[in-house]
Amino acid sequence: MVRTVNGDWLIRGRDGRLGVYLPSADAVRCRAESVPGGPWGPPRRVGGEQRLHGGFALAQGADGYSHLVAWRPTRGDEHGLVHSTHFRPLLAPLDWHPFGHPNKQGARTGGPAVAVDEAGRAYVFVRNRGLGVMTVNQKSRGGWNAWHDLRGSKVHEELAAVTAESGLVEVYASNPDGILRWHQEEAGARPVAGEPLRVPVEPGSLSALPTSKENTTLYYTDPKGTLYAWRPGTDPIALLPAAGPGPVATLRCVLEGHDCTVLAQHAASGRIAFAAYPTEQESAGLWWTESGPRLPPGSRISLAEDAQGRVVAASVTPEGVLRVARQKDEPGLALAAWQEIP
User: Per residue in 172-203, pLDDT tens?
Assistant: 999 999 999 999 999 999 999 999 999 999 99
Q: How far is CA 226 from CA 161, 205, 223, 238, 266, in A?
A: 22, 11, 8, 7, 15
CA distance 69 to 102: 14
pLDDT score of 2: 37
pLDDT for 307 beyond 90: yes
**Residue 282 forms part of a structural domain:** yes
Average pLDDT over residues 251-258: 95
pLDDT at 55: 87
The answer as to whether 187 is a domain residue is no
- Asked if residue 327 is part of any domain, the answer here is yes
Backbone angles phi, psi at 283, to 5 degrees: -65, -15
Domain membership of residue 331 (yes or no) is yes
**Vertex 230: Cα angle to 298 and 217 (nearest 5):** 75
CA angle (90 as vertex; 59, 56 as ends), nearest 5: 30
pLDDT of residue 293: 97
d(CA 257, CA 261): 13
In three-state form (DSSP H/G/I as H, E/B as E, the rest C), the secondary structure along 272-283 is EEEEEEECCCHH
> 322 lies in a domain?
yes
Instruction: Provide the whole-model pTM.
Output: 0.96
* Mean pLDDT for all residues in the chain: 94
What are the tens digits of pLDDT across the range 207-239? 999 999 999 999 999 999 999 999 999 999 999
pLDDT exceeds cutoff 80 at 267: yes
- Residue 1, pLDDT > 50, answer no
Residue 158 has pLDDT above 80, yes or no: yes
For position 47, what pLDDT does the model report? 87
73-92 burial, b if ≥16 CB within 10 A, otherwise e? bbeeeebbbbbbbbebbbee
Decide if 160 is inside a domain.
Answer: no
Look at the chain and report how many structural domains it folds into.
1
In the structure, what pLDDT confidence band is assigned to residue 89 with cuts at 50, 70 and 90? low
Domain membership flag for residue 311: yes
Q: What was the pLDDT predicted at 210? A: 97
pLDDT of 100: 97
Would residue 275 count as lying in a domain? yes
Q: Which of 44-48, 77-81, 234-238, 324-328 is predicted with the least confidence, judged by mean pLDDT?
A: 44-48
How many Cβ atoms are within 10 Å of 281's Cβ, its own excluded?
13
Q: pLDDT, tens digit, for every residue of 16-62?
A: 999 999 988 899 999 999 999 999 999 999 988 889 997 899 999 99
Q: Beta-carbon neighbour count of residue 298 at 10 Å?
A: 16
> Contact at 8 Å (CB) between 261 and 277?
yes
In 7-52, at which residue ranges do the beta strands (DSSP E only) sit? 10-12, 18-23, 28-32, 44-45
CA distance 223 to 217: 20
Please count the other Cβ atoms lying within 10 Å of the Cβ belonging to residue 310: 16
Domain of residue 262: give its range: 243-342
CA 37 to chain centre: 23
Listed residue (211, 59, 204) closest to 123, CA to CA: 59
What pLDDT does residue 90 have? 63
